[in-house]
Amino acid sequence: MSIEVKISKTRVSYKIAMKFLDKRVEKLKKNKGKELLWVLEHPTTYTAGIRSNTSEIIDKNIKIINTKRGGKITLHNPGQKIIYLVLDLNRRKKDIRKLITAIETSITEFLELYKIKGKKDIKNIGIWVNKKKIAAIGLKVSRWIAYHGFSININNNLEEYLKISPCGLNNKQVTSIYKEKGKKIKNFEKKLIEITIKNMNKI
């Protein structure tokens, strides 16, 4: 199944990205346009999912953007890669669990390229390395159009997590590829896209 791939070289504001996703979702509901995989970075942005609670905000001065995705409060910042998906599950299997498993597999396979063993947690969605979260997953489904997606901490500033309880967790329970391996990775987008599309096409 054909998925349009979009890679943004410059940072995209969260609100602009959401408008773009919403438009693509509406097109797919009308059987127009292609599914989407979009790789980008956001400037430092704190977002609240539909299960979030104000008690998760430690620094009351930060601006929080409410969003339609599942999950709680999280951080997007430079050095974290966002992979947004818009998938028509009417054309695939109408199985949200299978979609989440495909995303989890994509993340763990990508991490394996850098000899990092990522694990999923039954209680807490996302991918973990040595009990620290390295990747977050947040989805919304409307009339079997699944959108939003996942993020992977590559070499972002983890100190910015101290202003929140990310996903309801201890804010020190986060890590990145850079923190785990002590070096920055480059030119990884193509491989990340290939792995993700391969797993999405199994749904």
Task: Write out the catalytic residue numbers.
Answer: 167
Asked which of 76-80, 130-134, 150-154, 169-173 is least confident by mean pLDDT, the reply is 169-173
- φ and ψ of 14, to 5 deg: -60, -45
pLDDT bracket for residue 168 (50, 70, 90): low
Res 48: pLDDT: 86
In the predicted model, what is the mean pLDDT of residues 42-52?
88
User: Chain-wide mean pLDDT for the chain?
Assistant: 92
For the segment 138-151, the average pLDDT, to the nearest whole number, is: 94
Mean pLDDT of 7-31: 96
Task: Categorize the per-residue pLDDT at 169 as very low, low, confident or very high, splitting at 50, 70 and 90.
Answer: low
* Measured CA distances, 50 to 44, 68, 70, 202 (Å): 20, 6, 5, 28
Name residue, tokens 């599914």. 35
- Measure the CA dihedral 84/123/129/139, to 10°: 0
State residue 53's pLDDT score.
79
pLDDT, mean of residues 118-125: 86
| Mean pLDDT within 63-84 | 89
Q: Is the pLDDT of residue 167 over 70?
A: no
140, pLDDT greater than 70: yes
Averaged pLDDT for residues 22-33: 94
Largest CA distance in the chain: 47
Cβ neighbours for 107, distance < 8 A, ≥ 6 positions apart: 118, 127, 135, 150, 152
Position 26 pLDDT exceeds 90 = yes
Average pLDDT over residues 110-120: 96
pLDDT category at 1 given cuts 50, 70, 90 is low
- C-alpha torsion angle, residues 73, 59, 172, 102 (rounded to 10): 10
Q: How many CB atoms lie within 10 A of CB 51?
A: 13
Residue with tokens 């999950």: 71
Is the dihedral angle over the CA atoms 5, 11, 16, 17 positive or is it negative? positive
List the single range of 79-83, 93-97, 122-126, 143-147 with lowest mean pLDDT.
122-126
Q: In order of start, what are the domains of the chain with their CATH numbers?
A: 3-200 (3.30.930.10)
Is the predicted pLDDT of residue 166 greater than 70, yes or no? no
Kindly provide the residue ranges of all beta strands, DSSP E only, lying in the chain, ordered along the sequence.
3-7, 35-40, 45-48, 64-66, 73-76, 80-88, 119-120, 127-129, 132-142, 145-153
Helix (H, G, I), strand (E, B) or coil at 23: helix
